[in-house]
Amino acid sequence: MNRIISKNGLALIKRFEGCRLTAYQDSVGVWTIGYGHTLHVSKGQTITHEQADAFLRDDCAGAEKAVNRYMDIYRWNQNQFDALVSFTFNCGAGNLRTLLGGGVRSIAQISEKIPAYRKAGGKVLRGLVNRRAAEKALFDTPVSPAGNSSCQERKPM
User: How many whole angstroms separate alpha carbon 121 and alpha carbon 112?
Assistant: 22
Residue-wise pLDDT for 60-81, tens only, equals 999 999 999 999 999 999 999 9
State the burial class of residue 91 (Cβ atoms within 10 Å of its Cβ: 0-12, 13-18, 19+). Answer: buried
What pTM value is reported for the model? Answer: 0.87
Residue-wise pLDDT for 140-154, tens only, equals 999 977 544 444 433
Please give the positions annotated as active site: 17
Mean per-residue pLDDT over the chain, rounded:
92
**Cβ–Cβ < 8 Å for 67, 96:** yes
User: How many whole angstroms separate alpha carbon 47 and alpha carbon 60?
Assistant: 18
User: How many whole angstroms separate alpha carbon 25 and alpha carbon 30?
Assistant: 5
